[in-house]
Chains A and B, each alone.
Chain A
Amino acid sequence: MTAVDPALRPDAPGLASPAWGGFDPARTRGRGWIDIRHSFVTAVRLGWKMEANWTDPLLFFIYSVAKPLASALILVVMLDVISGGAKPEYRAFVVVGSALWSFVLSGMSGLAWMILDDRERYRMLKYLYVSPSDFLAVMFGRGVARIGVGAMGASITLAVGVVFLRVPFEIGRIDWPLLLAVMTLGLTSILAIGLLLAAICMQTRQESWSYPEAAAGALFLISGVVFPLSVLPLPVQSLGLLTPLTWWVEGIRHALFPGGVTAIGGPGSLYTRLSGAPSPTSGEIVVVLLATGAVATLAAVAVFRSSDRRAKDRGLLDQTTGS
């Protein structure tokens, strides 16, 4: 007979009945926020290891930076081909836009691919569900890890833009409170959109891996990331103004490059037609970002809860589709 690990014995401390001999319901309830925080931190660590430990740090760094940097360089060369370097303010516009977009791509794909990775590839989704961890905390933890990778790419792209691409930048002019506010609200909105996509991916199959990129591609077009919204038809501009990402990118531009090119306002823009102002103020940006972000977050949570119930009902959590 093999020896039993003392820690696993039924009468081991923590597993045995309470001293008074009855059933302690507190054990089934867990420890509330302490457990959620523990699950979240563990998921962040796991997510980071999954993202980063496939190679050595140097290659991982190159991988994280190459994608956003190449996207920015494509736009910078396009700009130079046409303007011959005569529009430095547009250079800042496209560098900031493409750098920030790596947050969006990583945040949106992080949550959706977490579902797909764990269901289709590693086949662990059902085990995550039956574990005592809060599933949303685990999902957000994994998503935050991927956003960390996106943040690294965005920071280096901005740094390369300032140092090598002559983007006009003065650290003393940064509006720090605005930057902090819009970054917090913007990242929350990105995670909300990611949650929405994760809810959709839980129901779908085959082409689901493309959904985050498809959604990001559509939002890229209407969010004023690399060109002002005023070049779009008015109905498309109105869609862009309803998206929190538009206001997030505009807010970051306001904070980092006060007085720079606006994506929302300007001649021919819907915003200027409606408000009469050339561009939105910092206060307007924060308020609209808060409102649109709150709507996106509430909608994402509602859709996720509904998708979660349906997935359990239809047995989708352990259904692999060979994708």
Chain B
Amino acid sequence: MTARGDAGRRTVDAPGRNAFVYRPTASPQEAANWTPRQVAMTNFRTVLGRAYPRVSGLFREKSWVFFEILLPFLATSAFVFVYRALEAPPQYIGFVVLGGAMTAFWLNVIWMMAQQLWWEKSQGNLELYFAAPMHIMAVLFGMAFGGFVMSSTRAAAVLVVATAVYGVSFSVDQWALLIGVFLLTLAALYGLGMMLASLFLMWGREAWHLTQLLVEPVYFVSGLNFPIARLGVLGSVAISILPLAVGLDAMRQLAFAGSAYPAGTPAPAIEAGILVAMVVVFIVLSRWTLAILERRARSEGRLSVRWQ
């Protein structure tokens, strides 16, 4: 039998190896020098391990069906009725519905990515993360992957329900670009979430309040319920720094292809390029800020401060 599979199986033909000993070594110092494969596999398992509770939580804590679908649906409905009261053209109802679905991702990014490490600190888990033999970026990737699965189900539910209830009709000419923009938007959003998570390492109660601050103001500058071109310069700035703004604008242009759409924003292909740049920048920045702020948080003793 070859030495493939888990550590327990390797003990059959590799004496000295078991679940706790990866390879027999002559000294503790040598054991501490992990092989690249050992590091990669540990980080991979970390990603899966951190994503697991978010995915399995979908099936265990059923109350999310009520709160995570009904709540965005109600908020979306309020804005739909505002447009109905104003006798707006039908595509505006579609803009609101699409924006309402995308809020699931934004809320997930700020509450369950950006703020997550602060929650972990409050619950006493953060020091365990840092003491464990894994890279903290793997934890962030795991959180992002689990959050992506979690939010996708919620966003899809809101989109389907609201589309059916309010009779939204989409008109898509470029499916591939639409799907590409959607995936790039999510990658950029979760990259931003990873960056914010490392920033929030330093904060105590500020984290909670600043997360609250990132809801309505971001909805406004992202043009969640209206075409962002109407915001002029502010909209242009938002498109250059906020994945929600640029992604939503591109998706609206692609999902309502035949409808009149206010001019003033780049074409979807250009916005897809902006999203690619955002993905790279946010992930690199998150790696960099995490390294700096982790060191600073350690030196200032903030990693284990609870109930601050």
- What's the nearest-Cβ distance from chain B to residue A144, in Å? 19
B71 contacts A66, CB within 8 Å? no
B81 contacts A231, CB within 8 Å? yes
Given contacts A63-B209, A218-B74, A226-B82, 15 further A-B contacts (CB under 8 A): A54-B204, A55-B209, A63-B210, A63-B213, A66-B217, A67-B217, A77-B230, A81-B226, A82-B83, A206-B63, A214-B67, A214-B71, A221-B74, A226-B78, A232-B81
Of B13-21, B85-93, B241-249, B296-304, the one contacting chain A is B85-93
Task: List the 4 closest A-B pairs by CB distance, nearest first.
Answer: A70-B216, A217-B74, A227-B85, A54-B205
Q: List the interface of chain A (C-beta within 8 A of B).
A: 54-55, 62-63, 66-68, 70-71, 73-75, 77-83, 87, 90, 94, 121-122, 206-207, 210-211, 213-214, 217-218, 220-221, 225-228, 231-232, 322
Who on chain A is nearest to B228 by CB? A77
- What's the nearest-Cβ distance from chain B to residue A243, in Å? 14
- Please indicate the chain A residues that have their CB under 8 angstroms from the CB of B70 in the complex: 214, 217
Who on chain A is nearest to B205 by CB? A54
Select one of A54, A81, A227 contacting B81, CB under 8 A.
A227
B81 contacts A83, CB within 8 Å? no
- Please indicate the chain B residues that have their CB under 8 angstroms from the CB of A62 in the complex: 213
27 A-B residue pairs with CB within 8 Å: A54-B206, A54-B209, A63-B210, A68-B216, A70-B216, A70-B219, A71-B220, A73-B220, A74-B226, A75-B82, A78-B83, A78-B86, A81-B262, A82-B92, A83-B86, A87-B86, A121-B122, A207-B61, A207-B63, A217-B71, A220-B78, A221-B81, A226-B78, A227-B81, A227-B85, A231-B84, A232-B81
| Cα-based distance from A293 to B231 in the complex (angstroms) | 40
- Please indicate the chain B residues that have their CB under 8 angstroms from the CB of A80 in the complex: 230
A207 contacts B64, CB within 8 Å? yes
Select one of B63, B71, B204, B226 contacting A213, CB under 8 A.
B71
Does B225 interact with chain A (Cβ within 8 Å)? Answer: yes
Could you give, for residues 211-240 of chain B, a 1 whenever the CB lies within 8 Å of some chain A CB and a 0 otherwise? Answer: 011011101100011110011000000000
B219 contacts A74, CB within 8 Å? yes
- Please indicate the chain A residues that have their CB under 8 angstroms from the CB of B226 in the complex: 74, 77-78, 81
- Please indicate the chain A residues that have their CB under 8 angstroms from the CB of B77 in the complex: 221
| Cα-based distance from A105 to B174 in the complex (angstroms) | 41
- A214, A218, A226, A227, most chain B CB atoms within 10 A: A227
- Please indicate the chain A residues that have their CB under 8 angstroms from the CB of B92 in the complex: 81-82
B71 contacts A74, CB within 8 Å? no
Q: Beyond A67-B216, A232-B81, is A206–B231 a contact (Cβ under 8 Å)? A: no
Who on chain A is nearest to B75 by CB? A217
> Within residues 124 to 170 of chain B, which ones have a CB less than 8 A from any CB in chain A?
none
- Please indicate the chain A residues that have their CB under 8 angstroms from the CB of B82 in the complex: 75, 78-79, 94, 226-227
- What's the nearest-Cβ distance from chain B to residue A84, in Å? 11
Does B123 interact with chain A (Cβ within 8 Å)? Answer: yes
- Please indicate the chain A residues that have their CB under 8 angstroms from the CB of B75 in the complex: 217, 220
* Total A-B Cβ pairs within 8 A: 107
Who on chain A is nearest to B227 by CB? A81
- What's the nearest-Cβ distance from chain A to residue B205, in Å? 4
- What's the nearest-Cβ distance from chain B to residue A93, in Å? 10
B85 contacts A228, CB within 8 Å? yes
- Please indicate the chain A residues that have their CB under 8 angstroms from the CB of B61 in the complex: 206-207
A210 contacts B67, CB within 8 Å? yes
- Please indicate the chain A residues that have their CB under 8 angstroms from the CB of B206 in the complex: 54-55
- Please indicate the chain B residues that have their CB under 8 angstroms from the CB of A218 in the complex: 74
Who on chain A is nearest to B307 by CB? A122
- Please indicate the chain B residues that have their CB under 8 angstroms from the CB of A68 in the complex: 216
Select one of A63, A74, A77, A228 contacting B212, CB under 8 A.
A63
B220 contacts A70, CB within 8 Å? yes
Could you give, for residues 55-77 of chain B, a 1 whenever the CB lies within 8 Å of some chain A CB and a 0 otherwise? Answer: 00000010110110011001101
B64 contacts A74, CB within 8 Å? no
- What's the nearest-Cβ distance from chain B to residue A16, in Å? 38
A78 contacts B79, CB within 8 Å? yes
Who on chain B is nearest to A122 by CB? B307
| Cα-based distance from A86 to B204 in the complex (angstroms) | 46
- A55, A66, A74, A226, most chain B CB atoms within 10 A: A74
- Please indicate the chain B residues that have their CB under 8 angstroms from the CB of A79 in the complex: 82, 86
- Please indicate the chain A residues that have their CB under 8 angstroms from the CB of B227 in the complex: 81
Select one of B88, B209, B210, B224 contacting A74, CB under 8 A.
B224
- Please indicate the chain A residues that have their CB under 8 angstroms from the CB of B230 in the complex: 77, 80-81
A67 contacts B215, CB within 8 Å? yes
- Please indicate the chain A residues that have their CB under 8 angstroms from the CB of B262 in the complex: 81
- Please indicate the chain A residues that have their CB under 8 angstroms from the CB of B88 in the complex: 81-82
- What's the nearest-Cβ distance from chain B to residue A72, in Å? 9
| Cα-based distance from A75 to B213 in the complex (angstroms) | 18
- Please indicate the chain B residues that have their CB under 8 angstroms from the CB of A81 in the complex: 88, 92, 226-227, 230, 262
| Cα-based distance from A213 to B81 in the complex (angstroms) | 19
- What's the nearest-Cβ distance from chain B to residue A90, in Å? 8
| Cα-based distance from A301 to B180 in the complex (angstroms) | 53
